[in-house]
């Protein structure tokens, strides 16, 4: 494990940008996710 984390990353991490399809997927998922709280319970449902 130490060898993996000690390697320098390739490229410039400041210029990394997500693909448009990734952003759309996350936005659509967050729109479809509904969280209902009842007493001390939370129910998560995906409205698809």
Domain ranges of the chain: 19-48
pLDDT of residue 25: 92
Q: What is the pLDDT of residues 1-48, one digit of tens each?
A: 566 666 666 666 677 788 999 999 999 888 898 999 999 999 999 886
pLDDT of residue 47: 81
**Cα angle at 13 between 9 and 8, to 5 degrees?**
15
């Amino acid at each position: 494990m130490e060898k993996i984390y000690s390697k320098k990353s390739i490229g410039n991490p400041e210029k990394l940008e997500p693909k448009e399809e990734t952003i759309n997927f996350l936005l659509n998922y967050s729109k479809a996710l509904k969280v209902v709280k009842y007493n001390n319970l939370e129910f998560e449902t995906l409205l698809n």
